[in-house]
């Protein structure tokens, strides 16, 4: 920023008199959380809403937003966790939604109050966004987060003085520990009962005169839709605002051009930004006291190791390896116990109940070989998913995952993507669908398209259930290492396909610098970890349960229809049914990969619908539900092992590795396909499906053919 002297003015002034606060809605009041990334905004959201939250697209928009119910002392409040942003000058669809909700009075779902989270340890960077929010005139409360981190760095913020300067309440708090939350609830309740607009930063005499001139030219009908001061600043900066006459826009741009010439700057946006930063510096000088500034903190010294070029990548791989080994080791006895429960007491009790009801073979087959077998297999993986979600939440809440973006930034640049693209890719390890929605944080359209094509190669949590089942059956105690290898291969596929696409479809993509705040290291809060894990586990169960029941029922129906004159409905062996015939027809395509058996092809067919259905389909085709069938608790794994030993011609290890590779590389699920179509369009989605299937088959064949020579 230019450091030459600026015209001195009062820090703030009352907001425009024509901008009156919006009334609280007839239903639950709506409070939006706004702030920079990594300032504790989402942590505060999780603490206040607990498990009473949902994630979905904003009405009429493609942006995914978390909403939840906060049971405050003043009644239920709808809390909206808006995407993190550094500025109200949008560079991505996420940032555009935040801006529109604050300035467009005609937009559905506009909040009654904004809580802007401000990092006390990095106040200067956060106050710039605060200045922009104040310019919208929306009623606000300032949540001063990270006060414990600021104190440890010798930084003290005079919250009372800051409240005076901005004419809005300021509440210091530590969301992770619940400190200050009660005071925040009290202040929000008062602000909702008597909403008022904050003061606005004064941006220097020349700029203020220009803003007054623009405001006088804006038609009343347009001024009624947008806050007057925000609208004048936007027009002066050269933005085009819907509804503003062309002559008004042209006049404002001429004023902006004259202003930038006077200030020896070539862009009115820079003039406005400079004046905002001047306001920020004056506020900092008035409210911040520093003791021991400049000392290297423990966090700084740790980052020198964890984000270094040489130590960062191996440490990251080691951490992820530990996560997967710990997950499989701890989850295995719990999974075995649950599976034994479904195969034993549940199946026995259901069988006796069906006998007492006189149920026919068709109904008995649906319940025993379908619902109990398929749903039981999926539910047995709940401990695995819970442990995985807990460990990943610990890494996120501790501040480590943000460092991972810096560690892989160089790898991302190899494929032409900015380090920020790593964030939706990381989300993809949980589920590819929200990861695709997460591409909206990228400002460049070609970056979003390329990332959207690569996300399906990120192995999601649904595929993890199959990895663990197969790896445990074939590799025993080394299952954790095999699962970790699948995740490493997933990263390698993202990089390899990224390089291929960058050199073909995406030649000449512009590079974008990595801009990302590193949150401080901290001990994960049990309450936050528990809330995040429960929400993710609920989402998994909700999605999986519907898909599994529908898929199991469809497979049972197709398995009950005889094919080629074998038996009658409900009384035909599954291999002689319509479903079996289709699976037999597909199986030869996988013979070069060593698993050309109809059981495997049947599982992969339903896996195209959802990877959660792979295990349940295997259970159905092997009929694992009868407790007296002679199989041990891990009977499904044993049955699969026997099949692979036959189809691989004496090379089961290369064959099962080929099966896992195909499962990793081919299309994740139909929900991902639908999300992909929304984000990158139908043509690129079809191209992606063809690319995934082709690559999956080629890799699987290569793994088996090469592996059978050595293993």
CA distances from 509 to 417, 423, 505, 604 (A): 9, 19, 10, 36
What H or E segment, with its residue span, contains residue 113?
strand 113-119
How far is residue 681's CA from residue 487's CA, in Å, rounded to a whole number?
Answer: 27
Task: Report the candidate in 164, 181, 200, 203 with the shortest Cα–Cα distance to residue 7.
Answer: 203
Cα separation of the two ends of the chain: 62
**Residue 23: per-residue pLDDT:** 37
**Residue 4: per-residue pLDDT:** 29
Q: What are phi and psi of 456, to 5 degrees?
A: -60, -20
How far is residue 51's CA from residue 37's CA, in Å, rounded to a whole number?
Answer: 22
* DSSP letters spanning 226-237: S-HHHHHHHHHT
Tell me the two tokens of residue 156.
Answer: 């003290």
Q: What are phi and psi of 55, to 5 degrees?
A: -125, 130
**Counting Cβ atoms within 10 Å, is residue 527 exposed (0-12), middle (13-18) or buried (19+)?**
middle
> For residues 661 and 702, is the Cβ–Cβ distance under 8 A?
no
What H or E segment, with its residue span, contains residue 66?
strand 64-72
Tell me the two tokens of residue 681.
Answer: 């369009």
Task: Report the candidate in 3, 1, 9, 5 with the shortest Cα–Cα distance to residue 205.
Answer: 9
Tell me the two tokens of residue 28.
Answer: 């639950």
Place of tokens 């001047």: 278
Task: Report the candidate in 315, 298, 304 with the shortest Cα–Cα distance to residue 395.
Answer: 315
**Counting Cβ atoms within 10 Å, is residue 557 exposed (0-12), middle (13-18) or buried (19+)?**
middle
Place of tokens 């070989």: 369
**Residue 702: per-residue pLDDT:** 95
Place of tokens 């996120």: 396
Tell me the two tokens of residue 434.
Answer: 């929200």
Beta strands in 276-319 (DSSP E): 288-290
**Residue 57: per-residue pLDDT:** 58
Place of tokens 């794994």: 637
How far is residue 153's CA from residue 603's CA, in Å, rounded to a whole number?
Answer: 56
> For residues 419 and 440, is the Cβ–Cβ distance under 8 A?
no
CA distances from 666 to 11, 358, 586 (A): 58, 43, 15
CA angle 457, 581, 551 (to 5 degrees): 50
Between helix 612-622 and helix 598-607 the angle, nearest 10°, is 150
Low-confidence ranges of the chain (pLDDT < 50): 1-10, 14-26, 263, 624-633
């Amino acid at each position: 920023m230019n450091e030459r002297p600026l015209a001195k003015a009062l820090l703030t002034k009352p907001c425009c008199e024509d901008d009156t606060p919006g009334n609280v809605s007839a239903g639950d009041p709506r409070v939006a959380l706004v702030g920079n990334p990594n300032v504790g905004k989402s942590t505060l959201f999780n603490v206040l809403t607990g498990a009473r939250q949902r994630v979905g697209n904003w009405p009429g928009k493609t942006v995914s937003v978390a909403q939840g119910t906060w049971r405050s002392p003043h009644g239920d409040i709808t809390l909206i966790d808006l995407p993190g942003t550094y500025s109200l000058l949008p560079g991505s669809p996420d940032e555009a939604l935040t801006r529109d909700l604050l300035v467009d009075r005609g937009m559905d779902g506009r909040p009654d109050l904004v809580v802007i989270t401000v990092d006390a340890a990095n106040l200067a960077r956060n106050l710039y966004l605060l200045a922009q929010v104040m310019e919208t005139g929306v009623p606000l409360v300032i949540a001063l987060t990270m006060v414990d981190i600021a104190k440890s760095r010798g930084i003290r913020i005079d919250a009372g003085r800051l409240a005076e300067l901005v004419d809005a309440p300021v509440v210091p708090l530590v969301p992770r520990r619940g400190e200050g939350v009660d005071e925040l609830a009290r202040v929000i309740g008062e602000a909702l009962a008597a909403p008022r607009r904050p003061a606005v930063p004064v941006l220097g005499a020349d700029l203020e005169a220009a803003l007054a001139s623009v405001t006088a030219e804006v038609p009343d009908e347009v001024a009624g839709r947008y806050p007057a001061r925000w609208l004048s600043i936007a027009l002066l900066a050269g933005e085009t605002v819907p509804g503003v006459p062309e002559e008004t826009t042209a006049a404002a741009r001429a004023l902006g051009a004259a202003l930038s010439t006077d200030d020896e700057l070539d862009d009115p946006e820079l003039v406005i930004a400079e004046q905002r930063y001047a306001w920020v510096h004056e506020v900092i000088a008035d409210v911040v006291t520093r003791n021991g500034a400049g000392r290297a903190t423990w966090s700084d010294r740790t980052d020198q190791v964890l984000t270094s070029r040489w130590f960062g990548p191996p440490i990251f791989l080691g951490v992820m390896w530990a996560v997967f080994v710990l997950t499989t080791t701890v989850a295995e006895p719990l999974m075995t116990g649950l599976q034994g429960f479904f195969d034993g007491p549940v199946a026995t009790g259901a069988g006796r109940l069906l006998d007492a009801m006189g149920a026919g073979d068709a109904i008995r087959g649906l319940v025993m070989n379908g619902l109990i077998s398929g749903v039981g297999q999926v539910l047995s993986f709940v401990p695995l998913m819970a442990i995985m979600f807990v460990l990943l939440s610990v890494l996120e809440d501790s501040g480590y995952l943000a460092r991972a973006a810096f560690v892989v930034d160089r790898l991302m640049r190899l494929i032409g993507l900015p380090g920020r693209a790593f964030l939706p890719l990381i989300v993809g390890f949980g589920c590819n669908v929200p990861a695709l929605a997460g591409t909206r944080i990228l400002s460049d359209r070609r970056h979003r398209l390329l990332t959207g094509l690569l996300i399906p190669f990120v192995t999601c949590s649904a595929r993890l259930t199959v990895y663990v089942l197969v790896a445990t059956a074939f590799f025993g105690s080394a299952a954790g290492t095999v699962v970790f290898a699948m995740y490493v291969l997933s990263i390698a596929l993202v990089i390899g396909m990224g390089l291929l696409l960058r050199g073909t479809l995406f030649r000449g993509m512009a590079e974008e610098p990595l801009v990302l705040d590193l949150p401080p290291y901290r001990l994960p809060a049990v309450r936050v970890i528990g809330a995040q894990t429960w929400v993710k586990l609920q989402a998994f169960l909700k999605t999986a349960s519907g898909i599994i029941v529908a898929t199991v029922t469809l497979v049972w129906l197709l398995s009950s229809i005889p094919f080629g004159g074998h038996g009658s409905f409900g009384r035909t062996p599954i291999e002689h049914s319509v479903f079996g015939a289709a699976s037999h027809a597909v199986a030869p395509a996988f013979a070069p990969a060593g698993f050309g058996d109809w059981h495997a092809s049947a599982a992969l067919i339903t896996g195209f619908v959802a990877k959660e259905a792979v295990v349940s389909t295997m259970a159905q085709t092997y009929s694992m539900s009868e407790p007296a069938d002679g199989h041990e608790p891990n009977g499904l794994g044993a049955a699969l092992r026997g099949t692979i030993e036959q189809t691989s011609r004496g090379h089961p290890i290369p064959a099962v590795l080929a099966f896992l590779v195909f499962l990793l590389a081919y299309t994740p699920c139909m929900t991902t396909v639908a999300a992909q179509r929304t984000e990158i369009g139908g043509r690129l989605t079809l191209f992606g499906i063809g690319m995934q299937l082709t690559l999956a088959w080629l890799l699987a064949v290569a793994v088996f053919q090469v592996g059978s020579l050595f293993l």
